[in-house]
Amino acid sequence: MPVNIVVGSQWGDEGKGRITDLLAAQADIVARYSGGDNAGHTVTIGAEVFKLHLTPSGIVHEDVVCLIGNGVVVNPAVLLREIDGLAARGVNVTPQRLKICRKAHLITPAHIALDKGYEAARGQEAIGTTQRGIGPAYTDKAQRSGLRAGLLADVEGLADAVAAHVESKNRILTDVLGQPPLPVKETALAYAQYASRLAPYLTDGSLYLSEALAAGKNILAEGAQGTLLDLDHGTYPFVTSSSSTASGALIGLGVGPRCVSEIVGVAKAFTSRVGSGPFPAEISGEAALRLRGTGANPWDEYGTTTGRPRRVGWLDLVILRYAARINSLTQLALTKLDILSGLSQIPVCVAYDLAGQRTTHFPTDLAELAHCQPVYEMLPGWDEDISGARVWADLPRNARQYVKFVAEQVGVPVSLVSVGPAREQVVVC
């Protein structure tokens, strides 16, 4: 039985949370495979808006079990706050419904201090990280000095490991970055307290999933960030520190490639980016304000985790073709189509001009990307409010043309189009 993957096709913030929520209705298990609380997945059900950072978006479906996979880096303080917040809103977040793989890695205050310290030291070259300690936690994992979630089962062992970890990071903080040291004992004590609450949630994620697959269960793998933020395939160094592409689901959950069935690439009907780095189809001024929104609504283009205004631009099909290739996408879910209503013409970037040469391939070199100029094709817009559309025929002709154009150009069918933040505001194509 299948593992279906939901993956971001752009620079994150594509609306993976709402698409995961939708697809979770057919899943038994929703499993997060990468990233940490740098992510912010929004699920809107009626008047209720859930902003989830670590808990998989399936948690709002009461029959779904959620797993935080081995590929995730977990800040236990944030996770406990999220669990308590969900429980206060009546969501069942017991260890029967939420599981944490023992092989996931823990984020500590030392990772967060290092993230902030390194960003400050980079000055003008700053990556624009979310300052959640993500990079330093994955660095420790790769350096084989990380703290795995399994330690939460051993309160004393964890306290000792955290104390040694903070002592060693304090040397970097003070001697290299000129930052104040962190308290060793208090941090160790705090982690011992987190352990007493989180230990019951621990599991062997890969074993849990393989038994579920053998029992015929459906698994939805929920990605975080997006293809262009992937450590290998993104716009390095302006990327996150994990494998956010579809292949990351295999490593980040401990399942093999033969289990995978559908790979749904989520793409916004325009493009956005948070943080630094080149963005060929970026726009500014009035048009940008129109795409971004004022921030008055939870779905406006402001970071769910950091509140930063997102950079915005027109839809870039060079990026989507690249995402289709890197992730072997079988479907596209196009979000926020309603935001484009009211434009007389809609520019869509179909290729780049690089030093007078037209290219339809996303460059591997960041300096080249920085010199790429967007080549736009103008598509006719529509005036109708499409937020009430529920079936394909409800969409105005030009909106349907826009969706068809994307599918043809990318070579991947569009299976879902979202026309508003609410769960039901979706057109199944």
Q: Which of 10, 13, 162, 271 binds ligand IMP (CB under 6 A)?
A: 13
Mutual orientation of helices 155-171 and 184-198 as an angle, nearest 10°?
140
Residue (150 or 421) nearer to ligand IMP, CB: 421
Residue (70 or 203) nearer to ligand IMP, CB: 70
Binding mask 206-245 for ligand IMP (x = CB under 6 A): ------------------xx---x--------x-xx----
Hey, which residues between 124 and 163 contact ligand IMP (CB under 6 A)? 127-130, 132, 134-135
CB of 303 to ligand IMP, least distance (A): 7
Buried residues in 72-87 as b, exposed as e (16+ CB within 10 A): bbbbbbbbeebbeebe
Cα within 13 Å of Cα(426), Cβ side = 20
Q: Does 38 bind ligand IMP (CB under 6 A)?
A: yes
Residue 42, SS3? strand
Residue (38 or 187) nearer to ligand IMP, CB: 38
Return all residues near 119 (Cβ < 8 A) that are at least 6 apart: 126, 127, 128, 129, 131
Is the CA virtual torsion 224, 226, 232, 238 positive or negative? negative
> Quick check: is 13 catalytic?
yes
CB of 165 to ligand IMP, least distance (A): 19
Query: d(Cα 127, Cα 294) in Å, to the nearest integer?
Result: 25
Spacing of C-alpha 392 from chain mean position: 28
Position of tokens 């007389």?
A: 344
> Quick check: is 61 catalytic?
no
Active-site entry in 13, 28, 37, 140: 13
Encoded amino acid at 63, one letter: D
Which range, of 36-44, 62-70, 352-360, 415-423, touches ligand IMP by CB under 6 A? Answer: 36-44
Hey, which residues between 261 and 280 contact ligand IMP (CB under 6 A)? 274-275
Residue (56 or 150) nearer to ligand IMP, CB: 56
- Residues near ligand IMP (CB under 6 A), total: 20
Query: d(Cα 263, Cα 30) in Å, to the nearest integer?
Result: 14
Hey, which residues between 296 and 325 contact ligand IMP (CB under 6 A)? none
CB of 51 to ligand IMP, least distance (A): 11
Q: Which position's Cβ is nearest ligand IMP? A: 275
In what helix (H) or strand (E) does residue 365 lie, and over which residues does it extend?
none
CB of 239 to ligand IMP, least distance (A): 6
Residue (129 or 243) nearer to ligand IMP, CB: 129
DSSP characters for 221-243? EEP-S-GGG-TTTSSTTSS-SS-
Are 189 and 159 in contact by the 8 Å Cβ rule? The answer is: yes
CB of 311 to ligand IMP, least distance (A): 10
CB of 337 to ligand IMP, least distance (A): 20
Query: d(Cα 250, Cα 211) in Å, to the nearest integer?
Result: 16
Task: Report the alpha-carbon angle 400-406-407, nearest 5.
Answer: 90
Residue (189 or 251) nearer to ligand IMP, CB: 251
Q: Does 203 bind ligand IMP (CB under 6 A)?
A: no
Q: Does 200 bind ligand IMP (CB under 6 A)?
A: no
Residue (104 or 213) nearer to ligand IMP, CB: 104
CB of 35 to ligand IMP, least distance (A): 6
Query: d(Cα 308, Cα 337) in Å, to the nearest integer?
Result: 22
CB of 241 to ligand IMP, least distance (A): 6
Encoded amino acid at 79, one letter: L
Residue (127 or 426) nearer to ligand IMP, CB: 127
Active-site entry in 21, 28, 37, 41: 41
Are 297 and 40 in contact by the 8 Å Cβ rule? The answer is: no
Tokens of 63: 């029959």
In what helix (H) or strand (E) does residue 383 lie, and over which residues does it extend?
none
Residues with a catalytic annotation lie at 13, 41
Give the footprint of ligand IMP on this chain (CB under 6 A).
12-13, 38-40, 127-130, 132, 134-135, 224-225, 229, 238, 240-241, 274-275
